[in-house]
Amino acid sequence: MTQTRTRSDRYPSRVGTEASITPRVEPVVHPGGPVSVLSDEQLAGFEREGFLLLESVFDGEEMARCRAELTAMAARAEVRSTPQAVVEPTSQDVRSIFEVHRSSAVFSELARDHRVADVARTLVGSDVYLHQSRVNLKPGLRGKEFFWHSDFETWHVEDGMPAMRAVSASVALTDNTEFNGPLMIIPGSHRSYVACGGETPERHYEQSLKRQEHGVPDAGSLTRLVEEGGIAAPKGAAGSVVFFDCNAMHASGVNLSPYPRSNVFLVYNSVENTLEAPYSGQPPRPEYLGSRDFTPLG
C-alpha cells in the first residue's frame, strides 16, 4: 500500500528502499522533572550508554509474587485467547502478554511503584503515563529470540510517538544470566536514529509481535553501531531493573539453558510527548500496544 505523509517528520522511516542513520534531535536526559532519584554518576552513565542497571530494586518475596501471577495468567485459556497474548506458532508457548498493568492488580502495583516510576520521571523530566506494558517469557531450552530493533522506530511510525522522550524498565522476574537469553544493548546507539527501508504492511503488528521483519535495522547499520559501541548485556538477579532509552538498539537471543527467563517491560512516556497520528499514515495500533490514555501515572 502506498503511504501518504503530509506532516513534517523529524524521524522518517520505511519510506523508501534505503536505510540511513541520522543524529538524535532530543536530549537523552531531560532536566526539571518532579523528582530526582538518580546520582550524577548514574545520570551521566545513562546519557552516555543509553541504559542503566539497578540491582536489588525488589526483594525475593515481591518477585515470587509476580512469578506466581505470571504463571497463573499464562495458564488461563481466557488469557491465551486474547489479542494481548502472543503465542509461539511452533510450540504454543506464551511469548508475551501485553497490557498486564490493566489485567493484573499485581502488575498494576508494580508499574506504579515509585522505585521504577520515579526513575522514569527523573529521566524524561516530567510526569509519565504508561505507553505499554508486557511480560516476555523465555522457557528453558526453547525460548525464542527478539531481533535487533529500536522501540522508538516502531512507536514513532506505527503509534505516532513524536519524540524520543520515553524510557523502558525491564524488571527481572527471574535471574538474567549470560545463558538464558538476556537483554543485549548496543551502548551509545540511542544517539543515532536508524531509518529502515520498505513500507509498513497493513496490520503489521499481527505478525511483528511473533517475528519482526519490517522496521528492523539493516546489517550495515547494525555493524556500524556495534563497531562504534560494542554490545553490552546488563544482566542481574531477579529483582534487578534495566532502564533503557526508547531509541536504544537492543535484542535478546534464544534461551539454550534449562532455566527460564521472564521479564516485565514497563514503558513510561512523558505526558508532554503524547501520541499523534501514526507517521506511517495507517490507523494506530490497538490500545494494548500503544495506549492513548495519557492520564499521568500519579
Beta strand segments in the chain, E: 20-23, 51-54, 85-87, 94-98, 128-138, 146-150, 166-172, 183-185, 192-195, 241-245, 249-252, 261-270
Q: What is the pLDDT of residue 204?
A: 74
Calpha distance 229→218 (Å, rounded): 17
Residues of the chain whose pLDDT is less than 50?
1-4
Calpha distance 170→33 (Å, rounded): 21
List the chain domain ranges.
41-270
Q: What is the pLDDT of residue 91?
A: 76
CATH number listed for the domain at residues 41-270: 2.60.120.620
- Which residue has 492520564 as its cell numbers? 295
Question: Would you state the cell numbers that stand for residue 290, as one nine-digit string?
Answer: 500503544
Calpha distance 169→43 (Å, rounded): 15
Q: What is the pLDDT of residue 17?
A: 72
Calpha distance 106→86 (Å, rounded): 20
Q: What is the pLDDT of residue 211?
A: 59
Question: Would you state the cell numbers that stand for residue 217, as one nine-digit string?
Answer: 535495522
User: How does 42-77 read in b/e, with b if 16+ C-beta sit within 10 Å?
Assistant: bbebbbebbbbbbeebbeeebbeebeebbeebbeee
Q: What is the pLDDT of residue 178?
A: 96
